Amino acid sequence: MFSLIMIIFVVLLALLFDFINGFHDTANAIATSVSTKALAPRTAIMIAATLNFVGALSGTAVAATIGQSLVAPDLVTPLVLITALIGAIFWNLFTWYFGIPSSSSHALIGGLVGGVMAGFGIYAVNWQGFVKIFSGLILAPILGLVAGSMVMTLLFWIFKKASPARTNNKFRKLQVLSACMASFAHGSNDAQKSMGIISLTLLSGGLISSFHVPIWVMVACALAMALGTAVGGWRIIRTMGGKIFRIEPINGFAADFTSAAVIYSASLLGAPVSTTHVVSSAIMGVGAAKRLKGVRWNIARQILIAWFVTIPSAAFAAMIVYKLIKIFL
């Protein structure tokens, strides 16, 4: 079922997804620091690329969840994985082109579900595993929103008597640290999703006897994401960095610190989360703590709609690709 050529093709496609994930989600870690001029754009991207690479090598718990929770290995065929990845890649490129901060995680999970359903039917999906993963995807942004508001409220209380200009000058420097934390956390969660797909391919193809992530897979995925990050994602930076609300250095630090804590905690627990959603919700929470009316809720509404349509859209795209390939092959 899995020829060596097909395995190589799926691996390359998964690495392409990781590369696109890198430039699609670059804005997650650096948008606020670029927006407040804490970091120059080129410097911010290089920091993000480096820390994404390091973060990607920090563990494999998320990869195990992706590779073992959605579908049984005996139902994984080259066509299912190819259509899953193409569906996810299509949606990522579509939303990147229009500057919509949608979720690469949702896209990959939607693509995988769509590919399995097209090949083996609705009951082939492990819906219990899907619900578990989806619950984490929903819970993480809520935590980001609440925690972001709490952190910002605490910082306001601590620095309420300090000079705003002096405070922001200090936090502009601290944003370099928070951008590094956010970049590391992003790599620790997002790169592992492709690791899970590749390891699942190797298991189904008989190249490994039990599910684990080989070292070369970790390094390859880390490099692909780092290279993608170096390419950058300026369309999404404009949305994340200033269209939700006017961000000052203290706000940027609070949002980055909060999102990094939530994302890395999820990575340690093996929960695949949307870094885009967590960062967006943290920014909203920080903005709401500063001034509720200061948040541009129309932009937030557009992002929210993109959140909920990503899984079905990527799944639908994967199903169409599956049917087209079956017709022509």
Place of tokens 């001029």: 37
Contacting residues for 138 by C-beta, under 8 A, at least 6 apart? none
- Burial degree of 153 (CB within 10 A; 0-12, 13-18, 19+): middle
In angstroms, rounded to a whole number, what is the distance separating the alpha carbons of residues 179 and 187?
12
* CA angle (198, 195, 59) in 5-degree steps: 150
Pull the structure tokens for residue 237.
Answer: 């930076």
Q: How far is CA 25 from CA 136, 202, 214, 289, 312, in A?
A: 19, 27, 25, 25, 20
pLDDT along the chain (329 residues), means of 10: 85 93 74 81 84 91 90 82 92 79 84 92 90 89 92 92 87 91 92 92 88 93 88 55 67 93 95 86 85 67 75 93 88
Give the list of residues 6+ apart from residue 81 with CB closer than 8 angstroms, or none: 10, 13, 14, 112, 115, 197, 200, 201
CB–CB of 217/199 below 8 Å?
yes
Cα angle for residues 229, 235, 239 (degrees, 5° grid): 110
Residue 245: per-residue pLDDT: 54
Query: Look-up: residue for tokens 């992002």?
Result: 303
In the chain, domain spans: 4-328
Number of H helices, E strands in the chain: 13, 0
SS3 string of 235-267? HHHHHHHHHCCCCCHHHHHHHHHHHHHHHHHHH
Alpha-carbon gap, residue 242 to 280, rounded angstroms: 11
For the segment 30-88, what is each residue's pLDDT rounded down to a tens digit?
778 887 888 887 788 888 889 989 999 998 999 999 988 888 777 788 889 999 999 99
Cα 141 from Cα 296, distance rounded (Å): 18
Q: What is the pLDDT of residue 288?
A: 84
Spatial distance between the Cα atoms of 323 and 316, rounded to a whole number of angstroms: 11
Pinpoint the alpha helices (H) of 98-212: 104-120, 127-158, 164-204
302-314 pLDDT per residue, tens? 667 777 888 999 9
pLDDT at res. 61: 93
Write down the pTM of the prediction. 0.87
